[in-house]
């Protein structure tokens, strides 16, 4: 067993709170589990020092405020980590990380937009970086850099909402708009779907919700009546004491709310046929074939394809972003709108 593997085993023993962590018990453990005959008290002391250094690297502020993160208890005759939630190494082994990655890979249907692949790649990247042990002189920069998504605002509501959605439970939410003058509003209704969406600035969660007025004795759940609430704008959420009868068609799917949109928010207009032309020498030609812009995308020839989507701000922003690669052919009113916006943009540089 090499040094890194031995330190990982010691770290795992520290995380087992019932294990009496001292040189003699560790030595007996290594003999029993790995047939390692000699493990002296001096080796144990040296390994403890190495673990302290690793803990200090991972938790510098904790080490600065508390001192050594490994302590000795005379009364219990054992060493211990000063907190239950720290570890000198990531809590999962390479095998465990690979198992989790495989489970996510198998259940990609639970994710949209390739997010399942992203999580799988990150887990396997962690496993790779944790096992860079064959080089004596490692580079001072990380070998892999992935998107740092951070915590989702409003994530504290997800567990409650998932349970309410599955149980068709009426809830009350207190929600505030984005503007400074917005006031809290309380609504009661049926939560239907949590939608994750990246709007270009950050990735957040949204709740698809049908409000149920108190006066209604029976409410028909309809896509046209649904509303979206950003989870990070929800201040309070709780079960409703009200009871209400709802009628839900067997073929009803909340995700159909987004079927005709490029993005998240649905307007009042119907989907329109959008004919786009790709520039002959554009890199995007093969890209849009492999990664369709929208499920409705239909390729007509090597330079033309069409979409059936609602014309909204999200679509316009997309077309402006790739205006050097894509040209709107139809409908004429959208083509003119994009042209005028591009003229305004050009005027800023004259």
Same domain, 164 and 250: yes
Residues 279-331: pLDDT tens digits? 988 999 888 888 889 989 999 998 999 999 999 988 999 999 999 999 999 99
What is the rounded average pLDDT of the residues 140-169?
69
Same domain, 236 and 287: no
What is the rounded average pLDDT of the residues 63-87?
90
Specify if 144 maps to a domain: no
Please choose, from the candidates 120, 119, 114, 115, the residue with its C-alpha nearest in 3D space to the C-alpha of residue 102.
120
Same domain, 226 and 280: no
Same domain, 35 and 68: yes
Same domain, 238 and 307: no
Q: Token pair for residue 340?
A: 């005028």
Compute the Cα dihedral for 139, 56, 155, 181 and give only its sign. negative
Specify if 209 maps to a domain: yes
As a three-state string, the secondary structure of 190-252 is EEEEEEEEECCCCEEEEEEEEECCCCCCEEECCHHHCEEEEHHHEEEEEECCCCCEEECCCCC
Same domain, 185 and 222: yes
What is the extent of the structural domain holding 60?
A: 3-81
Question: Would you state the pLDDT for residue 103?
Answer: 67
Specify if 87 maps to a domain: no
Asked whether the predicted pLDDT for residue 255 surpasses 60, the reply is yes
The rounded distance, in Å, linking the Cα atoms of 301 and 245 is 51
The rounded distance, in Å, linking the Cα atoms of 114 and 105 is 11
Give the CATH number, domain containing residue 280. 3.30.70
188 in Cβ contact with 194 (< 8 Å): no
Specify if 139 maps to a domain: no
Specify if 145 maps to a domain: no
Specify if 53 maps to a domain: yes
Give the CATH number, domain containing residue 222. 2.30.30
Same domain, 182 and 237: yes
End residue of a domain, out of 255, 287, 302: 255
Specify if 201 maps to a domain: yes
End residue of a domain, out of 255, 280, 306: 255
The rounded distance, in Å, linking the Cα atoms of 87 and 294 is 44
Asked whether the predicted pLDDT for residue 47 surpasses 80, the reply is yes
Same domain, 77 and 98: no
Give the largest CA-CA distance in the chain: 83
The rounded distance, in Å, linking the Cα atoms of 169 and 190 is 6
- Domain total for the chain? 4
Same domain, 276 and 199: no
Specify if 266 maps to a domain: no
């Amino acid at each position: 067993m090499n040094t890194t593997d031995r330190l990982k085993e010691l770290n795992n023993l520290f995380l087992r709170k019932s294990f009496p962590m001292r040189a003699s018990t560790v030595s007996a453990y290594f003999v029993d589990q790995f047939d390692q005959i000699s493990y002296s008290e001096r080796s144990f002391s040296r390994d403890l020092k190495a673990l302290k250094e690793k803990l200090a690297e991972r938790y510098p502020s904790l080490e600065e405020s508390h001192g050594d993160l490994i302590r000795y208890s005379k009364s219990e005759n054992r060493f211990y980590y000063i907190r239950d939630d720290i570890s000198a190494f990531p809590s999962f082994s390479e095998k465990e990380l690979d198992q989790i990655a495989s489970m996510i890979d198998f259940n990609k249907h639970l994710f949209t937009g390739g997010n399942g692949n992203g999580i799988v790649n990150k887990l396997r990247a962690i496993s790779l970086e944790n096992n860079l042990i064959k080089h004596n002189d490692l580079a001072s920069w990380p070998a892999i850099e992935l998107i740092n998504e951070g915590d989702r605002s409003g994530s504290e509501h997800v567990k409650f909402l998932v349970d309410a959605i599955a149980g068709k439970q009426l809830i009350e939410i207190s929600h505030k708009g984005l503007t400074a003058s917005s006031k809290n509003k309380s609504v009661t209704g049926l939560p239907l779907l949590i939608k994750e969406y990246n709007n270009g600035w950050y990735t957040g969660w949204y709740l698809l919700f049908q409000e149920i007025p108190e006066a209604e004795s029976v409410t028909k759940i309809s896509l046209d009546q649904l509303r979206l609430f950003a989870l990070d704008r929800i201040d309070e959420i709780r079960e409703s004491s009200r009871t209400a009868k709802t009628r839900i068609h067997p073929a009803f799917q909340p995700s159909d709310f987004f079927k005709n949109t490029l993005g998240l928010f649905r307007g009042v207009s119907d989907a329109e046929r959008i004919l786009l032309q790709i520039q002959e020498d554009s890199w995007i030609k093969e890209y849009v074939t492999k990664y369709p812009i929208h499920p409705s995308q239909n390729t007509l020839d090597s330079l033309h394809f069409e979409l059936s989507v609602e014309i909204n701000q999200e679509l316009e922003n997309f077309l402006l972003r790739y205006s050097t690669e894509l040209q709107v052919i139809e409908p004429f009113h959208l083509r003119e709108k994009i042209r005028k916006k591009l003229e305004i943009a050009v005027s800023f540089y004259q």
